[in-house]
Structure 1
Amino acid sequence: MIKRINTFTIFCLAAAGIFSCAVGQKPETNTPVSADLDFTQLIQPVPTRAVLKDSLYYTWCGTMVADSKGTYHLFYSRFKRELGFSAWVTHSEVAHAVADNPLGPYTFKDVTLPPRGREYWDGLCTHNPTVHEFDGKYYLYYMGNTGDGKVTPKGLNFVHRNNQRIGVAVADSPDGPWKRFDSPLIDVSPDSTADDALVVNNPSITRKPDGGFLMVYKAVGKKKPAPFGGPVVHKVAISDSPLGPFRKQPGTVFEAKGSDFPAEDPFIWYQSGRYWAIVKDMHGAFTRAGQSLALFQSADGLDWQLAKHPLVSKLEIKWADGRVEKVAHLERPQLWLKDGKPQVLFLASDVDPSQSFNVHIPLKTN
């Protein structure tokens, strides 16, 4: 079900060389993690304050990093409710909120990655943020696009969708200023038969035990009819620096037999000698629980297998007041880890299309 990925590399476009970065400390490797990890046992009831919601904006894609002063910085996607939910692909921007507790409540502070002009590859839309601190610098990976700026009331604006590329912004502090680049970090492959010939988005990155960096990202090929294309797959790329250049690895991961779009929204991390990934299971191909969140593991970050306990969560939220709320979506998983242990699971959710919110789920750490 999962294709083996070899080590032959293909260089992609990258924005390297503008910043220098020391690659020093290795990731946490001493925290015990069983191969029998059952993530459902880690999820704790959610206090009502652990939600980010805005009456004027749809909110999505929450990712958090802590600074040295004990402030927690949440980066998230937002787009105006008056434009409709499909405006995520045309008008999303990455915003920034702060709190003195990892669960929140978070208070809006500024827009980190605002529109900067359609002439830029990421000039009209920024989305899919994932934030990390490496050796004293902060890296905000994201999807950006440009296009005609028109909202499609039903469905996607495929001009924007098919211009999706992966980028990174860099800062000395989560408060910024953030340096953006004029070229994508990961671009589509020029070969029309490549797995990522049409679209690249949804980046996730972790530090390797040898000091390098491993990225998993979503990709769309051109083998299926336009404008959607397909199949929708995931690929791996590696680099010696968080700024690239990233070397794309052949093959794809998180595959399911008979499905051209089995998964999306990966979050990867390294812990106790292995790589882990939480992904959105689009149709229950991995968990047999319908649309849900699934857990994968890998010894090398290249060859991924379904974990022994694949289910992370069904489409429900367990609140601290005892309610179990069924939701329409539970996606864009992001973890905040402290001392190598997952502490908070950040997710985007909604109950119906008229609303959306980010939820911050505490995790059992003992």
Structure 2
Amino acid sequence: MTKLLNVLLAAAVASSSACTTSSDCGLNGDCVDKTCSCDPAWTGDTCTSLNLIPLSAEAAEDGAYKHGTSTSWGANVAFCDEDNLYHMFVSEMKSNCTLSSWIPNSQITHATSKNISGPYEFRETLFDTFHHNPRLTFDAASGKYLLFMIGGDLDGTEDCSGIPDSDGELYDTRIVYSESASLNGPWTTPSEPLVERGAEDAWDYVVTNPSPIIHSDGTTYLYYRGTPKYWDDDSLLGELPESVGVAVAPHYSGPYTKPFSSPILSYMNEDPFAWFDPSRGYKMLTHGRDDPLNTHYAYSSDGLNWSSGSDVACNANVTLDDGTIKVFKNRERPQIYFDDEGQPAYLFNGVCPDEHYGYAYTLSQPLNKN
């Protein structure tokens, strides 16, 4: 009887994981004989886990960017033909503050390296406090690099104190962008706010974490994290105190409107990194806020209607090339560097080695390409 039950259980599992279309493979593979054949950068039964290559202990410890004892968080990287260097744009905390006081001590740093994996060297403070969540992209129509971020009129604090909540109310961050014809600059003064915050009783009273997809006709989908005004009001929080929304505009400069009054993901996530794969569809990595140890993955055929966002792409820890595991307290702000063929090649994260939202640095890890 036990043997029969095991056979039936195995058959049920196989049936439940069998695919019929590429959508069953997370838009990251082909369905072949009811089994997902994953693209190189992805793995797992449904091709929704990142196929990360183990790091050396030194690479995991040194990271891609460490600037003295300052904290960095959430890097975007692009290669520049002008100087044959990789250019990084990353949040960095002023005055050696830790991540816990990112408001108001975050600024945007520009760093460069001869190698994609680093080490990157500090070049300049591009935007002083308060600026955070940089997301670099390129607009082919205008030939300009765009740096989306959040910003506000706040000065850093020498004692690394943060902006306290007022009765649970979060600071009104603003999504802005700057543009440049070159990764070497000059960059324009950040724009006026692009996306209006929601009403006081809305799920997205606060909007942060911008991640744009610019289509060939100029239409822009701007994904963002939404947070309600009061975290301690259950009537506002519901089951999703934080998740991802989208605003749409005919041009990256706006005006933006919100097509939905609720999140586009049914799972609690933040830190969206969205991109369009011409051969597959729309894809997104997020940091799962209900479980800080996981990076999540979501996918969509049209950029508006998405999977739940509950698939786990990776956890916070890093497998080393000797088979051991390096444990991190946080691994967030997932950002991908794409190779010349547009395939995911490196995953960049902000990581905290010792304590949640304490000292952090920037980590890079290669993805499988074979």
TM-score by shorter chain over 0.5? yes
Separation in 2 of the partners of 1:186 and 1:78? 24
Q: Which aligned segments of 4 or more residues in structure 1 are displaced greater than 6 angstroms?
A: 151-155
Separation in 2 of the partners of 1:340 and 1:133? 13
Whether the 8 Å CA contact 1:141–1:169 is kept in 2: the answer is yes
Residue 47 of structure 2 is aligned to residue 34 of structure 1: no
Whether the 8 Å CA contact 1:89–1:161 is kept in 2: the answer is no
Separation in 2 of the partners of 1:219 and 1:166? 12
Give the share of equivalent positions with the same residue, in percent: 26
TM-score after normalising by structure 2: 0.76
Separation in 1 of the partners of 2:163 and 2:293? 21
Q: What residue ranges of structure 2 are gaps of 5+ in the alignment? A: 1-26, 31-35, 37-41
Q: Comparing both chains, which one has the higher relative contact order based on Cα–Cα distances under 8 Å and sequence gaps of 6 or more?
A: 1
Residue 131 of structure 2 is aligned to residue 126 of structure 1: yes
Separation in 1 of the partners of 2:79 and 2:155? 37
User: Partner of 1:267 in structure 2?
Assistant: 273
Q: What residue ranges of structure 1 are gaps of 5+ in the alignment? A: 1-31, 115-123, 257-261, 285-289
Alignment map for 1:288-299 (pairs within 5 Å): 291-299=293-301
| Per-residue deviation, 1:346 | 0.6
* 1:356 to 1:238, Cα distance in 2 relative to 1, 3 A: same
2:54 pairs, out of 12, 26, 45, with: 45
Residue 173 of structure 2 is aligned to residue 171 of structure 1: no
Q: Which structure has the highest helix share of the two? A: 2
| Per-residue deviation, 1:144 | 1.0
Whether the 8 Å CA contact 2:195–2:247 is kept in 1: the answer is no
For 1:74-103, what per-residue CA distance to the aligned partner results, in whole angstroms no more than 9, with x for missing partners?
111111464443221111100011112211
Report the residue type matching 2:243 in the other structure: V
Larger-gyration structure (1/2):
2
User: Partner of 2:364 in structure 1?
Assistant: 360
Alignment map for 1:195-234 (pairs within 5 Å): 195-197=203-205, 199-208=206-215, 211-222=218-229, 224-225=231-232, 230=237, 231-234=241-244
* 1:241 to 1:106, Cα distance in 2 relative to 1, 3 A: same
* 1:195 to 1:80, Cα distance in 2 relative to 1, 3 A: same
Whether the 8 Å CA contact 1:87–1:151 is kept in 2: the answer is no
For 1:214-264, what per-residue CA distance to the aligned partner results, in whole angstroms no more than 9, with x for missing partners?
1110112336548xx8532321112222222222221212223xxxxx211
Residue 200 of structure 2 is aligned to residue 183 of structure 1: no
TM-score after normalising by structure 1: 0.76
Whether the 8 Å CA contact 1:40–1:311 is kept in 2: the answer is yes
Residue 254 of structure 2 is aligned to residue 244 of structure 1: yes
User: Partner of 1:194 in structure 2?
Assistant: 202
Separation in 2 of the partners of 1:323 and 1:42? 17
